Amino acid sequence: MFRTHTCGELRLDNVGEEVILTGWVQRLRDKGGMLWVDLRDRYGITQLTMEEGITPASIMEQARALGREYVVKVIGKVVERYSKNDKIPTGDIEIHVDKIVVLNPSKLPPFLIEDETDGGDDLRMKYRYLDLRRTPVRRNLELRHRMMRATRDYLNGIDFIEVETPYLIKSTPEGARDFVVPSRMNPGEFYALPQSPQTFKQLLMVSGFDKYFQIVKCFRDEDLRADRQPEFTQIDCEMSFVSQEDILNTFEGFIKYMFEKVKGVKIAKLPRMTYADAMKFYGSDKPDIRFDMRFVELNPLVKNKGFKVFDDAELVVGICASGAASYTRKQLDELTDFVKRPQIGATGLVYARVNEDGSVKSSVDKFYAPEDLQTWATAFNAKPGDLILVLAGEQDKTRKALNELRLEMGTRLGLRDKNVFAPLWVVDFPLLEWDEDTKRYHAMHHPFTSPKLEDVELIDDRPGDIRANAYDMVINGVEVGGGSIRIHDRRLQEQMFRLLGFTKAEAEAQFGFLMSAFEYGAPPHGGIAFGFDRLCSLFGGSDSIRDYIAFPKNNSGRDVMIDAPAPIADAQLDELHIYMKPVQNK
């Protein structure tokens, strides 16, 4: 290589050595008689020093002409620094420069390429290759790399084999819209990009592969939020001859290994919670259990006391925020505004403070006697200084809203520390989900998920009550992975498609290949997939998965750096047999 050392490597031990470094000029300080340059590469920053009387004048002059982000090669001697910098690992030494070679000059970058930058999001996305030079951004990708490696080490260590599956396939029903690719050689026909390799990994089980994994791109054409990308990465896994218990144990081992290897954090045995309990006590199938604050239902305590809002409500349910009784009127108004926001949709908020003397003061004292309010305090196990917050209304909506309020209170009370990790399994998901719009059942996970055998008899009368052998891993309120034991029997699979409203012909046309495979000795099997980008952002302590993707897309699904998507030439369209309707507003 051009260099003898990297910019992050030299220490006091190297003093006296003649070295060659290469890198980018991060900044230059010119004090007249003295000149300093911070030289940066992937490994760190090394200070170059030039001094009148020691450094030849021609080199001083050459250095003065360097601009930010020039690529240079420097030859010099390692010396001990007079004033050391304990903030960087190379801070004990500097380089007395003997020669500078400019390998490539640079235009002035559009934003500061330093840990703290002045560049806004859009600008940094447009010049993502420059943003990636910044240490915090680079560190995110280094974390991603370490996680990928640890994943492969763990799975390889227990006999999983990595098999690639195709990207040009037929639609997989994971519940989102497909991205499609026209086929030139098959006019009028399209491939779909996989929403996941689901059917392929099941076919690999039929092929006898037994333990499969793949770190794989998946594509879903969904509306985007900060934690979603149209293309994202899964750690996709499947195993044969396993029960749900085997899968939970294998991947509990995986997550423990990841935390230990990558973060040095030991994780205790993962608690398990049924879907029904998660909804009942947290109003969410991905509860954040870093803190307690469980829901308490109040219906029997609050009805028929003349308070119409509670009397008319299907559900009255609340949480108890420890130590929050001191909340001011203004803070309580803020919380009321919070729950009334259209995204949350509650109509109001009732509160009750438990005073130091144990008495309870509520916003609905008009309707409830002190003894009534005491029964509330007892129900919540509330102590002096606690604040009880209550919502009322239609079941599902109220639980959802209270989940948001619980998380908000958790944040306000500092109970959601990013460095605390509370993983759990949520199990026993319903097999089906009723969709009001289409007036039919959808698979809650996907149509290949096996019902619990003991629930199969409900299939005709109460299909909505059938539980599935499906599970999610949740960490700090984020669903990091999910999977299921699969159907491996043609008849049950056909029955499932029927339940989901497929005609026999439709099921055959879309999934005949899988159902045929089941007739040739399909082993019992099941699996799971982890959202790798999310796992990275969780480990890295960020809310956005974009920070962990080298070249992410923005909220409109655009890559603003390469400017994609983009129109294609008429000749290309002709070749693909595509006739474009004129696009409006373009």
Q: Tell me which residue of 332, 465, 311 sits closest to 409, measured CA to CA.
A: 332
Does residue number 483 form part of the binding site for ligand ASP (CB under 6 A)? Answer: yes
Q: Residue 63, Cβ neighbours under 10 Å: how many?
A: 22
DSSP 8-state code for residue 287: -
Q: What residue type is 485 in one-letter code?
A: I
Helix H, strand E, coil C: the string for 458-525 is HCCCCHHHCEECEEEEEECCEEEEEEEEECCCHHHHHHHHHHCCCCHHHHHHHHHHHHHHHCCCCCCE
Does residue number 528 form part of the binding site for ligand ASP (CB under 6 A)? Answer: yes
Q: How far is CA 244 from CA 24, 425, 445, 473, in A?
A: 53, 12, 15, 13
Please state the closest distance from residue 165 (CB atom) to ligand ASP, in A.
12
- Residues in Cβ contact with 541 at an 8 Å cutoff, skipping those fewer than 6 apart: 418, 419
Which CB sits closer to ligand ASP, 17 or 174? 174
Which CB sits closer to ligand ASP, 144 or 446? 446
Does residue number 535 form part of the binding site for ligand ASP (CB under 6 A)? Answer: no
Does residue number 529 form part of the binding site for ligand ASP (CB under 6 A)? Answer: yes
Please state the closest distance from residue 223 (CB atom) to ligand ASP, in A.
18
Q: Which stretch binds ligand ASP (CB under 6 A): 75-83, 244-252, 268-276, 524-532?
A: 524-532
Please state the closest distance from residue 185 (CB atom) to ligand ASP, in A.
29
Distance from C-alpha of 557 to C-alpha of 225, rounded to nearest angstrom: 10
Near ligand ASP by CB under 6 A: residue from 196, 199, 469, 510 = 196
> Which single residue is written with the structure tokens 């897309």?
553
Alpha helices, H only, 158-291: 198-206, 244-258, 275-282
Does residue number 165 form part of the binding site for ligand ASP (CB under 6 A)? Answer: no
Does residue number 250 form part of the binding site for ligand ASP (CB under 6 A)? Answer: no
Does residue number 231 form part of the binding site for ligand ASP (CB under 6 A)? Answer: no
Does residue number 194 form part of the binding site for ligand ASP (CB under 6 A)? Answer: no
Does residue number 174 form part of the binding site for ligand ASP (CB under 6 A)? Answer: yes
Residues annotated in the binding site, as ranges? Answer: 174, 220-222, 229, 445, 479, 486, 531-534
Does residue number 49 form part of the binding site for ligand ASP (CB under 6 A)? Answer: no
Which CB sits closer to ligand ASP, 14 or 234? 234
Strand partners, 215: 235
Residues annotated in the binding site for ATP, as ranges? Answer: 220-222, 229, 479, 531-534
- Residues in Cβ contact with 379 at an 8 Å cutoff, skipping those fewer than 6 apart: 296, 298, 301
Distance from C-alpha of 107 to C-alpha of 442, rounded to nearest angstrom: 55
Which CB sits closer to ligand ASP, 206 or 315? 206
What would the two tokens of residue 331 be?
């803070």
Q: Taking the alpha carbons of 348, 354, 356, 358 in that order, is the dihedral positive or negative?
A: positive
Near ligand ASP by CB under 6 A: residue from 430, 477, 482, 540 = 482
> What is the size of the binding site for ligand ASP (CB under 6 A)?
9
Please state the closest distance from residue 482 (CB atom) to ligand ASP, in A.
5
Please state the closest distance from residue 528 (CB atom) to ligand ASP, in A.
5
SS3 236: strand
Does residue number 393 form part of the binding site for ligand ASP (CB under 6 A)? Answer: no
Does residue number 403 form part of the binding site for ligand ASP (CB under 6 A)? Answer: no
The answer to whether 380 touches 391, Cβ cutoff 8 Å, is no
Residues annotated in the binding site for L-aspartate, as ranges? Answer: 174, 220, 445, 486
Near ligand ASP by CB under 6 A: residue from 14, 62, 484, 510 = 484
Does residue number 198 form part of the binding site for ligand ASP (CB under 6 A)? Answer: yes
Write out the residues near ligand ASP by the rule CB under 6 A: 174, 196, 198, 482-484, 527-529
